[in-house]
Amino acid sequence: MAPRRDKRVPSSALPTSSDRKVPKKLLGVVPADEDSTVIDQKPAWGFALLDRDDNHPWSMWPADRDGLMALLAMLQEMERLTWREVRDQMTGGHRRRGPKHKSIPVDHIIPEAQARLAELDLDDFPELFRFRHGNKGRLWGVFVGGHHVFYPVWWDPEHKVCPSKDK
Q: Between these two residues, 109 and 14, which has the higher pLDDT value? A: 109
Structural domain boundaries in the chain = 37-156
For 139-164, how does the pLDDT look when each residue is reduced to its tens digit (9 = 90+)?
999 987 666 799 999 999 889 999 88
Q: What is the full DSSP assignment across 15-69? A: --TT-----GGGTTTSPP-TT--GGGSPPEE--TT----TTSTTSSSSS-HHHHH
pLDDT for residue 10 is more than 90: no
Q: What is the pLDDT of residue 58?
A: 82
State pLDDT tens for residues 24-67.
544 433 334 433 477 888 899 999 999 988 888 887 765 678 88
pLDDT at 166 over 50: yes
pTM of the model: 0.76
Q: How many Å separate Cα 40 from the centre of its chain?
A: 17
Alpha carbons 139 and 85: distance in angstroms, whole number: 18
* pLDDT confidence bin for 70, thresholds 50/70/90: confident
What pLDDT shows up at residue 23?
54
Mean pLDDT (whole number) for 84-90 = 90
